[in-house]
Structure 1
Amino acid sequence: MINPAKGKEDLDLSYLREMSGDSAEFMIEMLDTLVEQIPVYIEDLQKAVDAQDWKAVSEFAHKVKPTFYYVGREDVRDFVQVIERNAKEGVNVDAIPSALAEIKAELNVILTQVAKSKAALETQI
């Protein structure tokens, strides 16, 4: 389940900090990559859902899942994991389109959070 309170907080970039050795430049590059990749992954996931290709849904969900962890949005990652598992097992697939719609709505919040985090990092360069 997506936690609406997480959308009102700053992103937890501790994973990126640790991975980058606290390099603001590297973290900015990673955030830029995420901003480019996440919408593409979500679009691919939407196409697979629209086609009711549950194997592809599972694969695309698996692919996008870690990107949410990198920015401290484990709630969204866990929600995507439910989609991945349900698609893979062929259970509760009728709920996947609405779950994806919820993720897409939250994506706008996440992208705003990423922009705010990136701006804060840019002041450290």
Structure 2
Amino acid sequence: MPEIEISDQNFDLSFLMEIADGSNEFLVESIELFLKQTPELMLAIDHAIKSQDWAAAGQSAHKLKPNLGFFGMLGGQTLMQELEALAKTAPDSQLIKAKFDELQAIITPTLVKLEVIKNAKAAEL
């Protein structure tokens, strides 16, 4: 089986793999949870932005932010932190929407790659 890529410019699973300590079951479960929660939170942020519910946008961003760090998505985590701060302090809908669009461009392809990694690791169980 060819070696799977555990990182690219948008994510790095080194930390996750380190704490998994060789457990593919832990990796699979962690990735499954991320794949379930991330789209839900991104959808919540999108709805909040569209309805200009800045408190809800900030809360969902706050929930997702540490998960991005856990998966080595530091660029996405920084954008999420900026979006959260903007939603709390100076709701500029255009700027918040722009940050969200940048996040989508990072998160969407990463979710696809994580699904491949999860499936490869699950096959090793």
Asked if structure 1 preserves the Cα contact closer than 8 Å seen for 2:76 and 2:107, the reply is no
Aligned to 2:103: 103
Aligned Cα root-mean-square deviation (Å): 1.9
Moved more, 27-36 or 65-74: 65-74
Which residue is equivalent to 1:6?
Answer: 9
Match of 2:79 in 1: 79
The two structures have a TM-score, normalised by structure 1, of 0.82
The runs of 5 or more residues in structure 2 that have no matched partner are 1-7
Alignment of 1:26-105 (within 5 A): 26-105=26-105
Q: Give the match for residue 5 of structure 2.
A: none
Query: What TM-score, normalized by structure 2, do the two folds share?
Result: 0.82
Is the Cα–Cα contact under 8 Å of residues 54 and 90 in structure 1 kept in the other structure?
Answer: no
How far, CA to CA, are the matches of 1:35 and 1:54 in structure 2? 24
> 2 CA distance for matches of 1:22 and 1:83?
35
1:113 and 1:74 mapped to 2: Cα distance?
16
Q: Is the 8 A contact 1:86 1:93 kept in 2?
A: no
4+ runs of 1 displaced by more than 4 Å?
A: none
Identity %, equivalent residues: 27
Whole-angstrom CA distance in 2 between matches of 1:76 and 1:62: 12
